[in-house]
Amino acid sequence: MNTLRNHLGLIASLVIVVLIGLGPIVSQNAASREVAFTVLRAIALASGLNILLGYTGYVSFGHIVFFGLGGYIGLYMITAQGQSLWVAMLLAGLSSAILAFLLGKSILRLRGAYFALATIGVNEAVRAFINNFEPFGGPIGMSVNFGVYQKYGGAMQALNMSFYVMLALTIVVVIMSYLVKTSKFGLGLLAIREDEDAAEVMGVPAPDSKTWAYVLSAIIPGMVGALFFFKNGSIEPAEAFPLHTSIEMIVMVMLGGQGTVLGPLLGAAGYQRLRGLLLINPLFKNIQLAVSGVVLLIVILFIPAGVVGWLRRRWPQWRRVLQ
């Protein structure tokens, strides 16, 4: 019983993810499936970023670079090399992890605004490289031949399969986030977030810990990118490396509560709901990013601990669940 109580936060998070996935499964409605896919994708990206932003306090404005790189690696393996989606996703995740490891050894020496600016530079540099890399189609990008979907039962079956795989990936990243937070490694990351110099004095290997947190935070976005663009059937630089999506990921983490497992889920689900309402509103559909900025400002000024932090203060008896 005590073991179960210790994992209430993880259980609550997984229940939310499963409930989001069950909606379109029960209704068998294509529109609700696409909405759920978008929400699950946002949760996976936000939870991945939270391993870096939430646990170490390092703000990455260019985290979408792993999503885009994963998308390109995945589609290249599928279209040019004839590999299956599963192999493509694994290689996409591995490629993102390698890039994060190499970057982590250099830019994670920077702190604060310097690190944030460096991540923007990395994203723009990779986008510029891909834009001129002919094997990946240059500025035109790549497209999937519809014959590729036949091995998955056709295009419609591939869409359904993509949804189930996205649900599984989201569950994996939530479990990963929880395991990192509750491990000795995670405690070291949290110490770095509070005071990096003091953490090093206490024996935390800060450079290596930050690098591995960066690597872990990059794997899932890479795999999600491969799956997303396989589902979309095409990829090009502008849609693979959108800087505004990185900003939205930060908003989702901050809104729900950085450094918690449940926070990115609530933040991503809430933000996607808000975004959907703005997109169908003639007055706000062209300024949704401005609204995102306002939301982030409000969160920082009034609820810096996010929704989860506010709920913890309001109902402290629910702290085990609100992890």
- How many CA within 13 A on the CB side of residue 166? 30
CA distance 95 to 78: 15
**Per-10-residue mean pLDDT, the chain, length 323:** 65 90 87 92 95 92 94 94 93 96 90 89 93 91 88 88 95 94 92 90 89 95 96 92 89 89 90 80 70 74 78 72 66
Q: 128-161 as b/e, with b when 16 or more CB fall inside 10 Å?
A: eebbeeeebbeeebbebeeebbeebeeeeebbbb
CA 226, CA 78: separation in Å to the nearest integer? 10
pTM: 0.93
Element (H or E) spanning 179, and its range? Answer: helix 155-181
- Residue 285 confidence (pLDDT): 66
For residue 91, what pLDDT is reported? 97
Nearest CA among 93, 121, 90, 91 for reference residue 106: 121
What is the predicted pLDDT for the residue at 311?
78
- Would you kindly state where each structural domain of the chain is located, as residue ranges? 2-318
Q: Which of 181, 228, 178, 216 is nearest to 94 (CA)?
A: 216
Q: Does domain 2-318 have CATH number 1.10.3470?
A: yes
